[in-house]
Structure 1
Amino acid sequence: MEVESAVWPEIEKAEKENRRELVLQGSAVDKKIQTSGGIHAKLYSLVLLNYLEVSQCPSLDVIHENIKNLSHLQSLILCRNKITSVPKSIGELKSVKVLDLSVNDLQALPEEICLLSELTTLNVSCNNINALPNGLSQCPKLCSINVSKNALAGLPEDLCSSRLELLNTIIASENAIEQLSNEIHNLPALKVLDLSNNKLLDIPFELADCPKLKEINFRGNKLKDKRLEKMVNGCQTKSVLDYLRVGGRGKGKGRSPDGESAEREDGGRNVSKKKNAAKQQQKNKKKKEEEEEEVEVDGLNRMVVRVLRVSDSPTAFVVKVSPLVKDVRPFIVCCIVKGLNLKPGNALKRFLVAQTKLHDEVCGKRTTATIATHDLSLLKAPLEYDARPPGVLKLVPLGRKEMKAADLLKQLQHEADEQRKQKKRQNVSGLHKYLQLLDGKDHYPCLVDADGHVISFPPITNSERTKLKKTTRELFVEVTSSTSLQICKDVMDMLIIKMAELNKFTFEHKEEAGSDGEVDRTTEPSVDGSDTPELKVVQVKVVDAEGNLKVVYPSKTDLTSDVGHLTIIR
C-alpha cells in the first residue's frame, strides 16, 4: 500500500467534516486503487465512521488488516470487488451489524468473523467459498445470512443452534449442499429458507417444526421422494410443510389406534371381513388423498408467461440511449408486462413489497441495479435514456411537487440530517439512504418519454406521473445498472417470475380483503380467456443514438429459469 501518495479527496473531506458515512465506488475510485496499490492508508484513521462502503472496484483484491482501527463501524459494505481474502483483524470490529462481502473472489472466511457479537446481517453471496467457519452461533443477534452462489457442500451444524434465536432468513441457493441438518427445528424465528439448486436428496421432517416458517424454496434439488419434489417445485410452503409434518407419503395417515383391539374382540370370519374392509377403506382414503394432492400440485404448475416478440413497425416500443449515460449508468433493459392483476385486495401492496425486497437483496440496496415500474397508459413512446446536469433535470418525484434534481437531493439531504438528529443515530431510511450513490456525478441518469416528462431518476425515485395504481393493467418495466447488462437481465428475470407468482396468488385468492377492509369479489378472466393467470411480456428494443440495436428483452436466452412450476411460451 502506498502511504505517501496524496490523500484522496473523498477521504480528506470525510476527515475534515467528521463524517460518519463514506462511500467509495465505481471506476474513478478503482483508478485510484490501481495508482495507490490499494485503498489509501488514511482511510483507516477515520475512526468516527459507522458506515463504510467500497464497491464496484475490480482492482481491489485485498483489505488491509488496519480495518480493525475503524472500531465504530456498524455497516461494512465491500461488495462487487475482487477481494480474495479477509484479514483476521476483522474480528475486532465489535460494533459491526451489517457485513456485505458479496460478489468477490473469496474462497474462505476467517473464523474471526464469528467474534462479531453484534452481527445481524451477513452477505457473502457470489463468491467461491467452499465452507463456512464453525462458530456462527457465537453471533446471537444474527438475523439474516446469504451464502448463495458459492461452492458450499454443506452448512455448519451450529447454524442450527438454538442460540441463534433471532435468525429468520437463510439464503443458500446455488451451492452443492447435500444435506440439511434435522436440527433445523432449533431456529424459532426462521421465516425464510432458500436452498434451491443444490444437491439435496431429502428434506428433514423436522423442518415442519419451525413455528414461524413462511417461505421455503427447494426447487432444483433432485429429491428421492418425487411427489415431494413436485410439491417443492410448486413452491407452496404450507403444502410442503403439511406433507413433512405427517412424515411423507402416506405416513401417519389412516391409522386406527384401536383397530387391533377391535380385531381381537371379534373372531374368525368377522375379524377377516372387518380387516379386509378396513384395509380397503384405508386404501380408498389414501388414493383420494393422493388424487387431491396431485390436483393441488398440478394447480401450481399453471403459471404461464407468454413472450410476445416486438414488431418492426414504427409504432413498436423503443428506448433510445444517449451517449451521455456511458460514464454515469450505461446499462438498461426494458419490457412491457400485461395481465398483472393489481386490483383485488392487497395485490398492489404485495407487488411493491416484493419489488422492495428485490432492491434490498438481489440489487444490493440499489448499488448494483435499480428497478422502476410504470403505468404504461400514462407514458408516451418513444423513450430516451439520457443523462442531464442536476440543475437541468426536472421531474415530479413520487409524493412530491415538480422540482429540479439538484433541489430534490438538497431536500433529501436536509431530511436525512433531520432524521439523524431526531433518532440520534447515523443510519437513515427511505430514499435518503441512496443519496451517496450519486456522489461525484455531474450528470444524473433519467428516462424521458416523448412528451418530455422525466418518468424515472435512477437510483433515487420514479415520477408521480406514471406511478402504479390498482387500476393499472399494463406495466412498463425498466432495470438500470452501472455494473453490467447481465445484472439488468438477471434482475428482470427474477422480477417477472415474482410477478407470475404474485399473479397466481391473487388469482387463487379472489376474495381476499383489501387494506380498506372491503372484500373484492371481482373475478376477472385471464388475458387469454383461459383459466390461467397468464402474464404477457412484450419485448422492448433498446437502441443507440443512431438507431442500432443494443439489446432486446426478453431474448431467447432470457427467462430460461428452471423453475418447475413456470411455463414460458415463446
Structure 2
Amino acid sequence: MTTNPIIIEKSTLIAQRIKQVALENNHHLILTGSGVSATLKKSGLDKNLFNLRHLNFLSITQTCLQSVPEEIGELTNLTTLILHSNEIAELPSSIGRLINLKMFDCSKNKLTSYPQELGNLLQLKKMNFASNLLESIPSLRRNVALSMLNVGNNKLKIFPDVCYAELVCLSELYVNNNKIEKVPITISQLPALKILNLECNLLLDLPVELANCDKLEKLNVQLNEMSDDNLKRLCECVSNVKKIFDYLKLNVTENKSRIVHQYINLKKDNLFPRFDRMHLRRHQLLIEGIIHDKAVIKVTEHVDSVRPFIAACIVKQINFTEISFKKFLQLQTKLHNGICENKNAATIATHDMQFIASGNLTYTAKPPVELKVQPFMRNKIYTGDTLFKQLQAEAENVCKITKQDVYPERYKYLNLLEGKSLFPCLLDHSGQIISFPPIINSDITKVSLSTQKMLVEVTSATSYTICRNVLDQFLKELLISCIINPKLSETYGYNFITVEQVKIEDTDGNQKLIYPSRADFDENLDKNIVVEREGKIP
C-alpha cells in the first residue's frame, strides 16, 4: 500500500499525529510551521516519536526546536532526516547510530559544531549544514558514499577535511560565504568533484593542484581577495574553469623558470661562494647513535605469524610551520599510496615522543577483542575487532557503490589481517598501545605543529628490507620536500635533519635490526644529500 507524507496543520497536536502515524504504519512524518512551534513551546517534542521505529522519512522544519533528543538514535530505519529552519544549537552523538541515513539536512539552524559520530554513517550521500554558525567540522573521510556536502554560510576558517581518495562519490562541495584562507593542495585527490563553490571567502590564491581536478565543471571563486590581479579577473566569471586551470599551470611554470634564471645569473656573476653553492645542492642528514631509553623496541614471538617486521628511528630538531606540517601529512599519504603499495607492503606510523612513556617499547600481538586503542582523530577507546569490522563495512560499501566484486586497492591491506587470531600493536613502556598496524595510529601520540621529536616506525608482513627502504624514502623526502625546520634552513642556506638510531631486539636482548645503520641511507640514494654519521655508528 502506498502511503503519503502526513503534513501537520496548525491546529494539529504533535501527539495526535504521532499516534495516527503509528496506527496507519506510515513511514513518513512531516512536522512544520507555527502550530508545531506552539506545541513545542508548551510541552516539547513528544518522546513517543522515537517509538516509531519503522519511520524512514522524518522532517521537522520551521519551528522553534532548539535541540534534538538523544533518543533520535532509536530511529535506525531513517533514510532521510530533514531538520532545516529551526533553532537547533546542538546535535546528540546518538545520531551516529542512524546507519541507514542517506540524506541529512540541518541547514538554517544555530549549530556551532556537530558530533564527529556523523563520520560513522557509511550510507550518507547528501549532507547540508548551510547557514549555521560552524567554525570547524570533523573529518568526513569515512563517509565514502557522500556525494554532496554543503557547509556554505558558516564561520569556517579551514577548508573541510574531505580531500581524500576514499570519497569516490563526492561531486558537489559548497563552502561559500565562510572565512577560508586556503584551498588544500590535496583537493586533487577527490576523483569525482564536479562542482566547487568557494565564493566569498578570504582566498589570496589557488593551488595549482586544483587544475588536476579533471571532472570539475563549475568553479565559483568570486568575491575573494586574490593577490594576483590576473587571477582575480579570471575568477570574476564562474564559466572560466578552463582559463583558471591554464593560468595556474602557466604561472607555476613561469615561477620555476624565473628561479632557474636567477640562480644562473648569480652563479655567472660569482655571487655564490663555492661552499654555499655546494650546500644549496646538498642537504645534510646527521645520524646519531642511540641516546634515549625509548630507542629500543622489544619484539615478542606473538607477531611472527601476523606481521613480524619492524624498523624505526627518531627524528629531532623539528620546528614545523603550518605549511611544512601540511607537507609532512601529505608525505605520509604519498608514501602509503606509493612505495607502501596502499599499506600492503608496509605501513608508516609517526609519534610525538613527548607523549610516549619513558622506557623500552614493545612490538607484540593481541587477540582482536583485547587490543584497545584510541584511534587517530577519535576521543574514545576502540577494540581492534571493532575497528577492523568498521573498515570491512566501508570497503564493502565502496564495492556496492562502484559495483566491484573485490576490495578497492586502498582497502586490500585488510586481507593481511583477515582471519588472524592475533592483531599486531606497538606499546610504550606503560603498556599503552600507540599503534595498530596496518590499521591506524593512536590519537594520544599524534604528531602536531608543536612536535619537536618524532618516533617513526615502519612495519611489514614481508621483510626488513621493505621497512628499511620505506624509512630511507621517508627521510629523503622529509629532508628535501618538507623542510621541517625552516628557520635553521634559512640561516644556513640548506636543509638538514638529525636522526637517532632505534634498535630492534627480541625479548632475550638479541639484536634483530638497528636503523639507520651504515648499510642504510646510502649517499647514492640522492646526489643532493650528504650523510654524516656521528661517532661509532654500527
Q: How high is the TM-score relative to the length of structure 1?
A: 0.45
